[in-house]
Structure 1
Amino acid sequence: MKIGLLEFGSGCESPLDIVENVLNYAERADELGFTRFWLAENYVNYAAYGSPEVLVPIIAGLTSQIRVGVAGVLMAYHNPYRVASAFKVLSSLFPDRIDLGVAKGSVPADFSALLQPDIDLSGQAAWAEAFKRNSTALHNYLNGGTNADKVIPVNGSVPTLWSLTVSLQNVSALARLNTSLCRSVFHNRIDDHKREAEKLAQYRIEFYEHHQREPEITISVAGVCAETTQEAQRIRAGLREPSRIEHELIGSPTYIFDELSALKEIYDVDEFIFMNMAEEPAHKLESLELIAGARAGYAAPVNADSGYLVAA
């Protein structure tokens, strides 16, 4: 089972301390064999950065194996040519190690006005149209479509494009995109994981029909891992900036892997992206050690009695 990480750049320290902790976190994740280190674009007052792409080359330079990227770029608010060009430079500097996730998220109105001062994206229709227009252009630039030959560096390599989604409501539209797919199970409530897995199976069929290859798929989860369930629950209860998370995985490494094993069987995936909810740097680093150690010696139970096998 492969595990990557999602980082939001928030915590209990000053912004500079948070950035330093993120760099240390990424270095240790690389040493422990985690597959990916994704940074989220996040506009909250306690975040250390709103433009995570500036940290991508630093993290890629400090590490040697782990894939690094942004998950995701909020494309309604960004110039697609600039995004394509920036990530082609990164991919050329670090071949086969850069991921570019496209997200459909929105930002608070005051930030929206700063990101796009010439366009009013406060309305749902305008925001949705901007996302569709910009993400389509980005896909064309990086997948050999219109004006792809004008994206500098012209002969540079391209990052792996990821579609990030919190639902599978429009499987056919997702399947037409020549991208990898990350499906979050912690943003929205899911009452029936098996029904969601059926949608993902349909996505695989339609993706293959369009692109003649199997899609790359990950599932993103969120939680807190500690030596014991009691300690994990204590850390979760003590969060200063708690997020609204569905289907939290709060517990020991054995519990975490039992849950991931159940999801693996249901969704037929072999890689997960773990968003560590812990805020204290020591807690975050300890969780890496625990997860890595558990992964090295983990054997899935034959009949896992997991919360994911029934309605959440």
Structure 2
Amino acid sequence: MIPLSVLDLSFVTSDSTPAQALHDTLALARHVDGLGYRRYWLAEHHALPNVASPAPEIMIGQIAAATTHLRVGSGGIMLPNHAPLMVAERFRVLEALFPGRIDLGIGRAPGTDGVTARALRRREAPSGNGGDDFLDRLQELLFWDQGFPEGHPFGEIQASPAGVSLPPLHLLGSSDYSAQLAAQIGAGFAFAQHFAGMPPDGPMRAYRDLFRPTRLGTEPHAILAVAAICAATDAEAERLAASARLSTLRRERGEYRPLPSLQEALDYPHSPTERARIEQGRDKLHVGAPDTLRARLGALAESVGADELMIVTAIPDRSARHESYRLLAQGWGIAS
């Protein structure tokens, strides 16, 4: 079976605080470190009451220091929010401290609403690109690692710490755009199936078909990020999934509330329309016992040509969330 990894958004639950969510992230990382998972990635989101993950580069250092086996990275750094030099230097520092264990995942979305995005950026992108300067920033980030062209005004600046390269680069996306761009520059690619508005088949296929070897990478590496909940039985997994499903319904209405408790979700009076929406969304939340998920996720990974699956699990109960990752690893055959 292909490797499994973890994507953690530091979920805030209805009975916890954002600060507790960060401590829960550290606890989960320690828990999965010995379970055979390959990577542990942290997301970047701002001004959202349901997640506590605005600074993945800080959490990466904390998690890498607290674990032994995991590669730790960003899923991802939202590049339009940051100066490329700052990203280059922060991830060089992480690579220097934890050589061979850091990943740099890059995204082009703001990870927040429009007003907060403007507060983060404090300057407008060039109007000639429709306000999107992601490609300019990505090119500059690569220049900080590979060297600027002769005559570039930044050419004499030395990114610190000197002598340390950027960690492996992955582009994140939920459409064809990032897939094609990752292929063109030779980077890894991670597709967010858990919230994408399109199936993963097309972007994953485009990434492989268009991949060109470069200094960034000689072979394509496609990660499929999926939402999954595992329990001892299919019925118990379905019960635990009630919180994630209610949270998704609220998010689709623009309500970014903390992850509801299981009892709140089970007691919620779903309308017929909401129940129909839950049924329509079952392909984006994979639920079941270990054998059920092994069969379902294995078939999905094979059908889209994924080299790796990255699992995000939204369960408000911390022990049940830990157990979900343990049972999935056991069923997958990676747990030692």
TM-score, structure 2 normalization: 0.78
Query: Per-residue deviation at 1:175?
Result: 1.7
Name the structure 2 match of 1:302: none
State the Cα RMSD in Å.
2.8
Residue 213 of structure 1 aligns to a residue whose secondary structure is: coil
Output aligned runs, 1:126-205, within 5 Å: 126=131, 128-129=132-133, 131-146=134-149, 147=155, 150-169=158-177, 172-190=180-198, 195=202, 197-203=204-210
Which amino acid counterpart does residue 178 of structure 1 have in structure 2?
Answer: G
- In structure 2, do the counterparts of structure 1 residues 285 and 171 end up closer, same or farther at CA, with 3 Å as the change threshold? closer
In structure 2, which of residues 116, 119, 136 is the aligned counterpart of residue 111 of structure 1?
Answer: 116
Q: Deviation digits for residues 73-112 of structure 1, max 9, x if unmatched?
A: 1111111100100000100110011111110112212311
Q: 1:5 offset after TM fit, Å?
A: 0.5
Q: Does 1:296 pair with 2:297? A: no
- The partner residue of 2:287 within 250, 260, 265 is 250
Structure 1 282/199 Cα, relative in aligned 2: closer, same or farther at 3 Å? same
SS of equivalent to 2:105: strand
Cα distance in 1, alignment partners of residues 102 and 52 from structure 2? 22
Cα distance in 2, alignment partners of residues 32 and 173 from structure 1: 33
Cα distance in 2 for partners of 1:38, 1:148 equals 33
241-250 or 287-296: bigger deviation: 241-250
Distance 2:180 2:307 in 1: 23
**Kept after mapping to 2: 8 A contact 1:222/1:274:** yes
Deviation of residue 148 (structure 1)?
A: 9.1
Paired position in structure 1 for 2:11: 10
Quick one: structure 1 residues 25 and 150, their matched pair in 2 at CA, closer, same or farther if it must change by over 3 Å? same
Q: In the superposition, relative to structure 1, how do residues 149 and 98 fare at CA in structure 2: closer, same or farther (>3 Å)?
A: farther
For residue 297 of structure 1, report the CA deviation from its aligned partner.
Answer: 7.7
C-alpha distance in 2 between matches for 1:181 and 1:14: 33
Look up the SS of the partner of 1:277 in the other structure. coil
Task: Indicate conservation of the 8 Å contact 1:183/1:219, yes or no.
Answer: yes
More divergent stretch after superposition (30-39 vs 155-164)? 155-164
Partners of 1:212 and 1:285 lie apart in 2 by 34
- Matched-pair identity in %: 25
Shift of 1:223: 2.1
Relative to structure 2, which stretch is displaced further, 78-87 or 153-162? Answer: 153-162
- Structure 2: how far apart are the matches of 1:170 and 1:49? 22
Cα pair distance change 1:117/1:196, threshold 3 Å: closer
- Between the aligned partners of 2:165 and 2:125, the Cα distance in structure 1 is 34
Counterpart for residue 39 of structure 2: 36
Look up the match of 2:299: 262
The unaligned stretches of length 5 or more in structure 1 are 299-312
Are the equivalent residues in 1 in contact too, given 2:232–2:289 (CA < 8 A)?
A: yes
Match of 2:274 in 1: none
Return the offset for 1:60.
0.3
Decide which of 88, 94, 102 is 2:106's aligned counterpart: 102
> Alpha-carbon deviations, 1:89-138, whole Å to 9, x = none?
10011001111111011221231132122337999921x22x22222211
Q: Does residue 236 of structure 2 align to residue 231 of structure 1?
A: yes
Q: Say whether 1:217 aligns with 2:225.
A: no
In 1: Cα distance, 2:65 partner to 2:217 partner: 34
Q: For residues 144-174 of structure 1, what are the alpha-carbon distances to aligned partners after superposition, in whole Å with 9 as ceiling and x for unaligned? A: 4454972111112321111112122575433
1-structure distance, mates of 2:193, 2:60? 25
> Given the superposition, is the C-alpha separation of residues 290 and 124 from structure 1 closer, same or farther in structure 2, using an over 3 Å criterion?
farther
Confirm or deny that 1:90 pairs with 2:118. Answer: no
Q: Say which is worse superposed, 48-57 or 93-102, in terms of deviation.
A: 48-57
Describe the superposition over 1:227-260 as per-residue Cα deviations: whole angstroms up to 9, x where unpaired.
2222222222134643567621122221211122
Q: Is the 8 A contact 2:187 2:216 kept in 1?
A: no
